[in-house]
Every structure is written in structure tokens, then in C-alpha cells.
């Protein structure tokens, strides 16, 4: 079978996969390589926004590049309201294991190192803050932002206290204040934090920070002490690359949910309504981007399965007479899938319930509309006889090889060509009607 005779849904899926592969290849090419840095340079990373897997990967990549180039110092400029505990733990571990000195700099003026940011700041051998920045408010909360109750609160709080005290004590900082930041959610301005020895220094800008830490001796990986040499060192800015920025945009649970839902719907349309390539292309790209987004988000596989199962039920509703039961089941499965998808995450990393219910209601209304029209069409043969359609012209909406779909009076009909093949867009003559299926042939050339 050649490319032109391949079924349209399959062609749509192949084109979608090819376009996505090209797109991802471009992303990989765009983010390949790092900054050109000489040995002994200062590497500057900029981390702003919530602590999430994208930030985690960026910090890991930046420290890898600095270690490979034998950097004199890595400065992580931090501004965060907090984020995921899992990502925070991985960033803390990566900083503690770094083979080059690391300074976390709460920057710019007015920035914050709240919640998870407090732990990241305390994990660095050098902790610095810009004027008017703030640090603290690190008490753990539940997935909905509520106070954790009962024994679980004691477990989570005590574990967090143990971590932040160990980090503060490692570098001789104020462990008691760090504990209060977790237990009582206390916060401190940059001036207060320096006076309380929560951080090491206050620096108005990067140049001042580098002058202040030059010659400072710090401990690396708990095994060796090194002296920071930043005087005259080149400064290299290792910013987030294109793929990290792209991931940060789509690594939103609401966007991931929409991509999965709309991608499934588009593929469903391609399957039941062959002849148009766009739904298949859009469906493949949306689904794969949805899973790409979930690759950097904590999620529940049960939620993904329920979302996909919802569209299976919607599809069956089109072909099985269930009095709407399958459609209702699809809407329920979609709601449950959306709510379960990110249910264990903090509030900023959960799918909005309003989005879940709105999308489920819209899709249910769409399915009802389609089902009503299908029922109406199924009752049309009683009004449409062979004498009214035989001999009329129809337009192929998909390739007939030998079966496919044609358009007659604005409606789709299944059709089978008597001889040869018909390409989408060609006209055919109806020769016979059998139930809801038409027999067609190519029109005879004039003069024959």
C-alpha cells in the first residue's frame, strides 16, 4: 500500500509523530551545550519561581557544568515562595555533594527564600541576602495549604527540624532560629538574618558578594576545606536553556490535564471521523506533550488511566446504545481522573477542580450533541429511500479503498466503491443504498 492509499487516521498519527520528533529534536539542539567558561570562573545560576522539578534539573545541570569547568564558585541567585518537598530535598542533596563552592544569594532586593527556599539557602557553604530580601516561614503544610493535624504533623515537622538544624550546624549558623522558622514560621529580613547569624552576609549586588567571599575558607562535601578565589575571576551566567523554559511553561498540572484531555479527544475525532489529518496530528502532539509535562510533575498513574478511559467511554457512546450511561460514565471518569492526577501535591501543583468540572461538563454536552445527531441519522433511512439518492452525486471525504466516507446533503455516509479507488475530494455517483451504507462508482466521462 502506498502513502496515498494509507488510511487517513494512520497517516494523521504518523504525521503527528514525525512533527513531534522534529520539534523535540529542535528543542534538544537548542539546549545542547553550556556556557564557554574558563577554569576558575564564577558560574551564576538564576532560580526564581516555585521549587519544582524544573528548578531541580536546572541546578543539577548548572553544578555539573561548574564542576566540569573547575569553577571557583557557583552563585545560585534565589527568589522563591517555596514549592515541592521532593524537589527541595534533591536540590539540598546536590548542593551538599557539590565539588565546588556554592553560594546561595537571595536576590534581587525584595526577593524571598520562603519555605523550601530557607532549606536551600541554609544548605550552601555561603548564604547571602540582598537588602530588603527575607527568609523563613518554613513550617510544613498539607497538600491543600492547610495545617497538618495529629501525629503526622509531629512526624513531618520533626523531620524538617532535624534537617534544617543539621544544615545550620554544619556551617555554624543559628540552628535555634532555623528550628523556629520550621516550628513557628518565623521570618527575618536580610539585616535581621545577618545579625542573628542565620546567613553569612548581606550584599547589595553580585560584585559586592564576590569581593566579600574572596579568601573565605569553606567545607566541601564534609571532607575537605577549600579557599574561595574570586578576585579577578571571570563571571559566567549559565541561565536556563530553551527546553527548561519550555518545561517550566507546560509543567503546570492544569496544562498537563488539558493536553491529555484535548489530545485524547482529538484522536477520538480522527478515529470516528476520518478524512482530516489535523485532529490526528494535534492529538499525537498534545498527548505526548502532556506526558512530557507530567515527566517533571509528581502525578498519580490512576488519574492518567481514568482520563484515557473517559474518552474510551465517550467513544463507545457513539456506537453502543446505552441510553447515555457510557457518556455519564465517561464524564465521571474524567472528573475522578482530573482530581486524582495531582491530588498528593501542594496547592500550586494540583489541577484546578473548576477546570476539571468545566471540561467534563463541556465534553459531556458535546457527546450528548453528537449522540442526539447520530440517533437522528439512524432514524433517517425510513425517510430516505433508494429512489431519492441513487444516481445522485456525493463527495468523498476520505479515500475509498474500497470503503470510506462520503458527504451527501451535508451529512456523512459510509460508502464502498464498486471498482478501483477514489481519493478524498473526488465526486462519486451513488448506485445503491443498503441500510446506512452506500455503493458508489466514479462518474463516467462525458461522451461515454
Residue 348 lies in a domain: yes
CA dist., res. 19 & res. 15, Å (int) = 6
Which single residue is written with the C-alpha cell 575558607?
217
pTM to 2 decimals?
0.71
pLDDT the model gives residue 342: 83
Residue 149 lies in a domain: yes
CA dist., res. 267 & res. 437, Å (int) = 24
Which of 358, 378, 398 delimits the end of a domain?
378
Residues 300 and 223 in one domain: no
Residue 150 lies in a domain: yes
- Burial of residue 389 (CB within 10 Å: 0-12, 13-18, 19+) is middle
Q: Is the dihedral of CA 373, 379, 382, 387 positive or negative?
A: positive
List per-block mean pLDDT (blocks of 10 residues) for the chain, which spans 448 residues: 44 54 55 71 95 93 95 98 91 96 97 97 98 93 58 84 96 97 96 97 97 95 88 95 86 87 81 66 84 81 89 75 75 89 75 88 76 60 59 88 85 86 89 83 73
Q: Helical H runs in 273-397?
A: 278-294, 301-319, 325-341, 353-378, 386-389
pLDDT the model gives residue 5: 42
Residue 3 lies in a domain: no
Q: Which is it for strands 42-48 and 235-237: parallel, antiparallel or unpaired?
A: parallel
Residues 307 and 414 in one domain: no
Residues 206 and 351 in one domain: no
Residues 229 and 261 in one domain: no
pLDDT the model gives residue 214: 97
Determine the structural domain holding residue 409 and report its residue range.
384-441
pLDDT the model gives residue 252: 84
Per the structure, the count of domains in the chain is 3
CA dist., res. 376 & res. 282, Å (int) = 29
Residues 66 and 194 in one domain: yes
CA dist., res. 410 & res. 412, Å (int) = 7
SS3 label, residue 410: coil
Residue 45 lies in a domain: yes
CA dist., res. 102 & res. 107, Å (int) = 15
Distance of CA 182 to the CA centre of its chain: 30
Residues 83 and 217 in one domain: yes
Residue 194 lies in a domain: yes
Residues 119 and 39 in one domain: yes
Q: With residue 5 as reference, give the H or E element that holds it.
A: none
Closest-CA residue to 88 (of 192, 219, 154, 182): 182
Sequence-separated (6 or more) residues with CB below 8 Å from residue 31: 241, 242, 243, 244
Residues 258 and 127 in one domain: no
CA dist., res. 271 & res. 265, Å (int) = 10
Which cell goes with 200? 553569612
Q: What is the DSSP letter of 381?
A: G
Residue 50 lies in a domain: yes
CB atoms inside a 10 Å sphere around CB 244: 18
Instruction: List phi, psi (to 5°) of 434.
Output: -130, 100
Instruction: List phi, psi (to 5°) of 112.
Output: -135, 150
pLDDT the model gives residue 140: 80
Here the CATH number for the domain that contains residue 157 is: 3.90.226.10
Residues 92 and 57 in one domain: yes
Residues 281 and 137 in one domain: no
pLDDT the model gives residue 268: 75
Residues 339 and 279 in one domain: yes
Q: Determine the angle formed by the axes of helices 278-294 and 242-250, rounding to 10 degrees.
A: 100
Residue 162 lies in a domain: yes
pLDDT the model gives residue 366: 75
Which of 207, 241, 275 delimits the end of a domain?
241
Residues 307 and 356 in one domain: yes
pLDDT the model gives residue 202: 98
Q: Which is it for strands 134-136 and 187-189: parallel, antiparallel or unpaired?
A: antiparallel
pLDDT the model gives residue 397: 87
Which of 241, 269, 294 delimits the end of a domain?
241
Here the CATH number for the domain that contains residue 420 is: 2.40.50.140
Amino acid at each position: 500500500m502506498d502513502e496515498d492509499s494509507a488510511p487517513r487516521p494512520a497517516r494523521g498519527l504518523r504525521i503527528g509523530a514525525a512533527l513531534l520528533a522534529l520539534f523535540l529534536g529542535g528543542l534538544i539542539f537548542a539546549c545542547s551545550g553550556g556556557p564557554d567558561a574558563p577554569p576558575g570562573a564564577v558560574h551564576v545560576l538564576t532560580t526564581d519561581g516555585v521549587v519544582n522539578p524544573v528548578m531541580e534539573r536546572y541546578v543539577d545541570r548548572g553544578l555539573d557544568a561548574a564542576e566540569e569547568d573547575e569553577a571557583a564558585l557557583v552563585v545560585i541567585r534565589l527568589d522563591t515562595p517555596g514549592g515541592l518537598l521532593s524537589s527541595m530535598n534533591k536540590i539540598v542533596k546536590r548542593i551538599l555533594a557539590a565539588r565546588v563552592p556554592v553560594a546561595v544569594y537571595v536576590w534581587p532586593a525584595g526577593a524571598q527564600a520562603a519555605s523550601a527556599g530557607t532549606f536551600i539557602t541554609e544548605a550552601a557553604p555561603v548564604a547571602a541576602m540582598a537588602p530588603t530580601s527575607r527568609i523563613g516561614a518554613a513550617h510544613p503544610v498539607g497538600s491543600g495549604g492547610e495545617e497538618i493535624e495529629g501525629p503526622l504533623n509531629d512526624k513531618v515537622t520533626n523531620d524538617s527540624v532535624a534537617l534544617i538544624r543539621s544544615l545550620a550546624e554544619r556551617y555554624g549558623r543559628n540552628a535555634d532560629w532555623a528550628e523556629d522558622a520550621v516550628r513557628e514560621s518565623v521570618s527575618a529580613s536580610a539585616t535581621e538574618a545577618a545579625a542573628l547569624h542565620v546567613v553569612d552576609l548581606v550584599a547589595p549586588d553580585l560584585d559586592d558578594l564576590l569581593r566579600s567571599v574572596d579568601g573565605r575558607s569553606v567545607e566541601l562535601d564534609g571532607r575537605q576545606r577549600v579557599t574561595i578565589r574570586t578576585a579577578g575571576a571571570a563571571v559566567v551566567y549559565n541561565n536556563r536553556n530553551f527546553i527548561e523554559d519550555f518545561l517550566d511553561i507546560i509543567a503546570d498540572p492544569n496544562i498537563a490535564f488539558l493536553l491529555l484531555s484535548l489530545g485524547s479527544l482529538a484522536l477520538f475525532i480522527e478515529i470516528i471521523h476520518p478524512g482530516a489529518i489535523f485532529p490526528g496530528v494535534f492529538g499525537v502532539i498534545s498527548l505526548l506533550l502532556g506526558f512530557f509535562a507530567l515527566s517533571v510533575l509528581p502525578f498519580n498513574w490512576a488519574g492518567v488511566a481514568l482520563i484515557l478511559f473517559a474518552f474510551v467511554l465517550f467513544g463507545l457512546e457513539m456506537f453502543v446504545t446505552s441510553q447515555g450511561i457510557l457518556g455519564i460514565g465517561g464524564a465521571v471518569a474524567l472528573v475522578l481522573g482530573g482530581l486524582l492526577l495531582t491530588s498528593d501535591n501542594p496547592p500550586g501543583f494540583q489541577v484546578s477542580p473548576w477546570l476539571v468540572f468545566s471540561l467534563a461538563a463541556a465534553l459531556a454536552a458535546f457527546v450528548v450533541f453528537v449522540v442526539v445527531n447520530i440517533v437522528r441519522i439512524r432514524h433517517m433511512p425510513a425517510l430516505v429511500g433508494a429512489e431519492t439518492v441513487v444516481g445522485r452525486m456525493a463527495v468523498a471525504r476520505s479515500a475509498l479503498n474500497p470503503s470510506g466516507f462520503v458527504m451527501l446533503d451535508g451529512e456523512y455516509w459510509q460508502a464502498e466503491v464498486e471498482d478501483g479507488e477514489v481519493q478524498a475530494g473526488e465526486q462519486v455517483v451513488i448506485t445503491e443504498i443498503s441500510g446506512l451504507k452506500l455503493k458508489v462508482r466514479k462518474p463516467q466521462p462525458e461522451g461515454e
